């Protein structure tokens, strides 16, 4: 990817995160970047192409960030806290309409995200489960495929800012409960002891 296109994609991402996708026009992108439409169209075919390339770039960055985290060799439970921190940060910055806009108007970008969730995220959680079982902190008598898919699917729910509307709960609280709900459900007594020690020294706002 050339430098100019990368800059365009990053600017488009910023606008989409702030304003949603459907409401943003190519004129808005040009104004934000202070470039002409001629320059913009030298790098993308149309808005759909821009949305798709932005999603492709976002997925690639997510995978690098998570893979880098996993390479640190943290314990399974600590690794899940760090994965949740990454997910929480992205959810906090996403415009409420983005998922709806993609699903209804940009099916190719939506399918990319679905495949990313089903393949990469589920694979990450399955590997985390295996690590936790090897460490003796996760139960051995569970189906890792089912558990990882449930975890990945719930991320979609957490991304919907309207789901907890009117509850007075912040997304930080919701993400914290999602993580502890998951870990208490899959942990052995050894894992629960470690988890409770960690929780006693943790500020939930750090997620």
Domains, the chain, ranges and CATH? 55-206 (1.10.357.10)
Q: Can you give the chain as a three-state secondary structure string?
A: CCHHHHHHHHHHHHHHHHHCCCCCCHHHHHHHHCCCHHHHHCCCCCHHHHHHHHHHHHHHHHHHHHHHHHCCCCCHHHHHHHHHHHHHHHHHCCCCCHHHHHHHHCHHHHHHHHHHHHHHHHHHHHHHHHHHHHHCCECCCCCHHHHHHHHHHHHHHHHCCCCCCCCCCCHHHHHHHHHHHHHHHHECHHHHHHHHHHHHCCCHHHC
Contact in structure between 9 and 84 (CB atoms under 8 Å) = no
pLDDT tens for the 207 residues of the chain, in order: 688 899 999 999 999 988 899 999 999 999 988 999 999 999 999 999 999 999 999 999 999 999 999 999 999 999 999 998 888 887 777 777 888 899 899 999 999 988 888 889 899 999 999 999 999 999 999 999 999 999 888 776 766 666 777 777 777 788 888 899 999 999 999 999 999 999 998 776 666
Supply the pTM of this predicted model.
0.84
């Amino acid at each position: 990817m050339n430098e100019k296109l990368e800059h365009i994609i990053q600017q488009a991402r910023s606008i989409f995160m702030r304003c949603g996708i459907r409401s943003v026009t190519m004129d808005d992108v040009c104004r934000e970047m202070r470039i002409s439409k001629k320059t913009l169209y030298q790098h993308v075919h149309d808005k759909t192409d821009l949305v798709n390339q932005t999603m492709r770039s976002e997925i690639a960055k997510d995978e690098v960030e998570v893979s880098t985290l996993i390479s640190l060799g943290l314990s399974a439970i600590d690794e899940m806290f760090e994965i949740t921190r990454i997910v929480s940060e992205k959810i906090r910055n996403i415009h409420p309409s983005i998922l709806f806009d993609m699903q209804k108007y940009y099916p190719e970008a939506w399918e990319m995200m679905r495949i990313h969730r089903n393949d990469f995220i589920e694979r990450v959680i399955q590997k985390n489960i295996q690590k936790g079982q090897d460490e003796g902190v996760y139960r051995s008598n569970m189906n890792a495929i089912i558990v990882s898919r449930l975890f990945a699917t719930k991320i979609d729910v957490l991304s919907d800012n309207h789901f907890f509307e009117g509850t007075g709960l912040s997304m930080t609280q919701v993400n914290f409960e999602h993580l502890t709900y998951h870990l208490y459900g899959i942990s052995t007594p050894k894992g629960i002891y470690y988890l409770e020690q960690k929780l006693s020294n943790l500020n939930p706002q750090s997620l």
